């Protein structure tokens, strides 16, 4: 059966509302933790946009508006779970412990990777839309073969939902009952194309056609995102197979720093979503329900400010690597063409101090 | 020495079996490879012996077969993928060139992409469209991939095992027109390294480089040439990326003449690369231009006329005549 209901546990005004299937049992500290995460990733994202505007990054893909979707899903992951992001999941990377400076390396174009994906159990940013969903399912098939108590989560967007690889990953996940959770952040826009161009039905309904459950969640409600993701992950670990979570949210900013959203969408729409801000509602809840004072919010803001300053410092210190790094790790074992290229570059004095 | 006569298809089957016995992380995935044993029966009996978890009948989507194998590789598995026919590899092209080829690099060596993509390639079996193509150059062109082609049962038996053990992703090209030809397989030890070209027949006048199905064509041409008093040295390239240029150059420095025979069309092909690289290395040894004998720059034709498309002994001999003619 397909439910048309949007799972929401916290209204935009910060009021808790009951849901027949999901309830949040997170306490004061945990909710404050989610608030802190969201404030920090938004601040780091703003700093990254500034860095791009100042010519310090080649590109930036802002996450504004999607903090709850990413933090809620990311914090639901267990330490041994593995996540496969697209390219906007800075919030998820934060929950996995990836240092912010490492997230920015690819955007400063000093590397095509950025971090050790096995260390953080979080794969590398994926720019070709949807490719990572197949990697997630394959990884989950490996988890099954290992008999491990682990689940896998993968992230993609409303635009990528049209990609063949995403739909093939649904087939595979269903056929092999893979322990994978698909998190589709429907932020309403794929650069300039509205979700209505990608689909004629609610995206989470698609899961039903593939034979596994789909749930639409208020993607701006971090409590709902956390609970739905946690249950889907638990279900996957218990052998219950895949779940599609459609996080219904909004991309408040541009697609990337190269985009100009004023060419294709109206301010009034953005304003509607501004009132559904994922951070403000949690702040209201914390203040009202737990009596959290301004001083605490100020502390969080100050911590975010400090991290942003540190990020700026780290990014400015990232120099172009030695050109011979392009020859490293192309192959696991020596390849004559790669080695010939390295030798030539060193002989010509273009690179290679080592 | 344990030696056995078997077809290339059987040799591949036995090689895969041995690879799976050696390493429990080795999986097979492809369409119809389980109960059916694959449309060419290369995986015959393997699902029965190793189970459905290790010999995986895949839903029909090539991109997903390769893409999930990438995920399995990240998890530490080594998947040998069967692409049913050469012409069906293109739906997986993105996963192969954007993911398989790059993730070791992007992860600074953390991800090992030790998967093997088996590709029954080339024509000559009277098939219908999309079943006879030679797509190797697309993959040779892509850094991060290695590409090999077997031409005998013995090579098939050993090269598939070497490919599975290798930590880089390997496109493993199998000349389907030679699947049912028998040859001696030495079960004790691999005769050559995976990336070595070998001299199949020594000669003095012209170096003929071929791979896959065309090795046999080149050897037959060498018989014909010998009757005409021309001595061909036939080299089986075996590895198309990397190319073993040392072996080819050593031969060309001796013969002074180079002919490459391939079933693929000529433009930006493996043959083009061999001719260009050997011209750079052996310019002063060459007595004639390096010459390609290829298919034509047309889509693979209806197979009733494929013999006119694929290089034949006659067309190889025509090229031999041309390169020999430069001395006169």
Tell me which residue range forms the domain holding B233: 198-325
Segment A96-128, tens digit of pLDDT: 999 999 999 999 999 999 999 999 999 999 999
Mean pLDDT in residue range B245-249? 98
Same domain, A341 and A263: no
Mean pLDDT in residue range A162-185? 98
Q: Which residues sit opposite A243 in a β-bridge? A: A181
Segment B60-110, tens digit of pLDDT: 999 999 999 999 999 999 999 999 999 999 999 999 999 999 999 999 999
What is the reported pLDDT for A3? 56
What is the reported pLDDT for B191? 86
CB atoms within 10 A of CB B228: 10
| Within-domain flag for B276 | yes
What is the reported pLDDT for B1? 76
Whether the CB of B141 is below 8 Å from some CB of chain A: the reply is: no
What is the reported pLDDT for A5? 83
B64: which chain A residues are within 8 Å (Cβ-Cβ)? 134, 137, 165, 168-169, 171-172
Cβ contacts of residue B229 below 8 Å, gap of 6+? none
| Within-domain flag for B192 | no
Contact B153, B183 (CB under 8 A): yes
Is residue A352 scored above 90 in pLDDT?
Answer: no
User: What value does the CA radius of gyration of chain B take, rounded to a whole number of Å?
Assistant: 19
Percentage of residues in chain A having pLDDT higher than 70? 98
Residue B327 confidence class, pLDDT cut points 50, 70, 90: confident
Same domain, A263 and A332: no
From the list A307, A309, A314, A282, the residue with the least C-alpha distance to A297 is A282
Segment A30-51, tens digit of pLDDT: 999 999 999 999 999 999 999 9
| Within-domain flag for A1 | no
Same domain, A103 and A141: yes
Same domain, A226 and A353: no
Same domain, B169 and B125: yes
**Whole-angstrom Cα distance, residue B83 to residue B172?**
10
Mean pLDDT in residue range A259-270? 93
CATH classification at residue B261: 3.40.50.920
Same domain, B129 and B210: no
**Whole-angstrom Cα distance, residue A56 to residue A50?**
9
Residue of B nearest to A169 (CA): B64
Is residue B328 scored above 90 in pLDDT?
Answer: no
Segment A137-171, tens digit of pLDDT: 999 999 999 999 999 999 999 999 999 999 999 99
Segment B158-215, tens digit of pLDDT: 999 999 999 999 999 999 999 999 999 999 999 899 999 999 999 999 999 999 999 9
pTM: 0.97
A165: which chain B residues are within 8 Å (Cβ-Cβ)? 63-64, 67, 94-95
Contact B120, B263 (CB under 8 A): no
What is the reported pLDDT for B116? 98
Whether the CB of B108 is below 8 Å from some CB of chain A: the reply is: yes
Is residue A330 scored above 50 in pLDDT?
Answer: yes
Segment B144-155, tens digit of pLDDT: 999 999 999 999
C-beta atoms of A142 and B144 within 8 A? no
What ipTM describes this predicted complex?
0.96
| Within-domain flag for B191 | no
Same domain, B182 and B285: no
Among the options B104, B131, B141, B166, which is catalytic?
B131
What is the reported pLDDT for A1? 44
* 3-state SS track over B100-158: HCCHHHHCCCCCCCCCEEEEEECCCCCCCCCCCCCCHHHHHCCCCCEEEECCCHHHHHH
At A154, list the tokens. 């993968």
At B249, list the tokens. 């150059």
């Amino acid at each position: 059966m397909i439910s048309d209901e949007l799972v929401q546990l916290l209204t935009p005004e910060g009021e808790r509302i009951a849901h027949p299937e999901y309830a949040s049992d997170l306490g004061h500290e945990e909710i404050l933790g989610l608030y802190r995460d969201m404030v920090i990733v938004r601040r780091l994202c703003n700093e990254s946009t500034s860095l791009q505007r100042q010519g310090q990054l080649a590109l930036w893909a802002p996450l504004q508006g999607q903090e709850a979707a990413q933090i809620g899903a990311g914090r639901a992951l267990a330490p041994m779970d593995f996540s496969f992001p697209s390219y906007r999941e800075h919030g998820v990377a934060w929950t996995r412990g990836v240092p912010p400076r490492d997230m920015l390396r690819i955007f400063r174009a000093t590397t095509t990777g950025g971090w050790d994906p096995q260390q953080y159990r979080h794969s590398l940013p994926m720019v070709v839309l949807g490719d990572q969903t197949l990697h997630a399912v394959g990884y989950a098939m490996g988890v099954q073969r290992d008999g491990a108590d682990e689940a896998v989560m993968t992230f993609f967007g409303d635009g990528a939902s049209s990609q063949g690889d995403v739909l093939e990953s649904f087939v595979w996940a269903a056929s092999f009952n893979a322990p994978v959770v698909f998190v589709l952040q429907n932020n309403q826009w794929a650069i300039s194309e509205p979700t209505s161009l990608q689909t004629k039905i609610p995206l989470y309904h698609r899961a039903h056609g593939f034979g596994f459950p789909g749930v639409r969640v208020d993607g701006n409600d971090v409590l709902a995102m956390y609970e739905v993701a946690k249950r889907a992950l638990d279900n996957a670990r218990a052998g219950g197979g895949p779940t599609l979570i459609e996080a219904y949210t909004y991309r408040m900013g541009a697609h990337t720093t190269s985009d100009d959203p004023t060419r294709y969408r109206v301010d009034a729409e953005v304003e509607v979503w501004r009132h559904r801000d994922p951070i403000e509602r949690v702040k209201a809840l914390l203040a009202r329900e737990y009596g959290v004072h301004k001083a605490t919010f100020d502390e969080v803001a100050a911590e975010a400010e400090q991290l942003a300053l540190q990020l700026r410092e780290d990014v400015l210190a990232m120099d172009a690597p030695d050109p011979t790094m392009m020859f490293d790790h192309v192959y696991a074992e020596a390849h004559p063409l790669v080695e010939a290229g390295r030798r030539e570059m060193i002989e010509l004095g273009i690179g290679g101090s080592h | 020495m344990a030696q056995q006569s078997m077809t290339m298809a059987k040799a591949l089957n036995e090689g895969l079996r041995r690879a799976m016995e050696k390493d429990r992380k080795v999986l097979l995935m492809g369409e119809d490879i389980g109960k059916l044993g694959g449309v060419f029966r290369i995986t015959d009996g393997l699902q029965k012996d190793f189970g459905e978890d290790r010999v995986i009948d895949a839903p029909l989507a090539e991109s997903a077969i390769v893409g999930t194998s990438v995920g399995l590789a990240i998890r530490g598995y080594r998947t040998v993928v069967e692409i049913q026919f050469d012409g069906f590899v293109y739906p997986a092209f993105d996963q192969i060139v954007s993911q398989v080829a790059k993730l070791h690099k992007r992860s600074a060596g953390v991800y090992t992409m030790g998967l093997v993509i088996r590709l029954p390639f080339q024509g000559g079996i009277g098939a219908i469209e999309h079943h006879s193509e030679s797509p190797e150059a697309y993959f040779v062109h892509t850094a991060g991939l290695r590409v090999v082609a077997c031409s005998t049962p013995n090579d098939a038996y050993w090269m598939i095992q070497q490919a599975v053990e290798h930590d880089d992703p390997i496109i493993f090209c199998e000349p389907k027109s030679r699947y049912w030809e028998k040859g001696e397989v030495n079960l004790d030890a691999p005769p050559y390294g995976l990336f070595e070209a070998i001299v199949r027949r020594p000669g003095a006048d012209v170096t003929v480089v071929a791979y896959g199905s065309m090795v046999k064509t080149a050897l037959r041409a060498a018989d014909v040439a010998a009757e005409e008093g021309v001595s061909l040295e036939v080299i089986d390239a075996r590895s198309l990326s990397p190319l073993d240029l040392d072996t080819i150059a050593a031969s060309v420095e001796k013969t002074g003449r180079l002919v490459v025979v391939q079933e693929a069309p000529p433009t930006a092909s493996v043959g083009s690369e061999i001719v260009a690289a050997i011209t750079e290395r052996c310019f002063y040894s060459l007595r004639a231009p390096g010459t390609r004998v290829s298919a034509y720059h047309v889509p693979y034709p209806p197979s009733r006329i494929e013999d006119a498309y694929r290089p034949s002994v006659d067309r190889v001999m025509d090229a031999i005549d041309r390169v020999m003619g430069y001395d006169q």
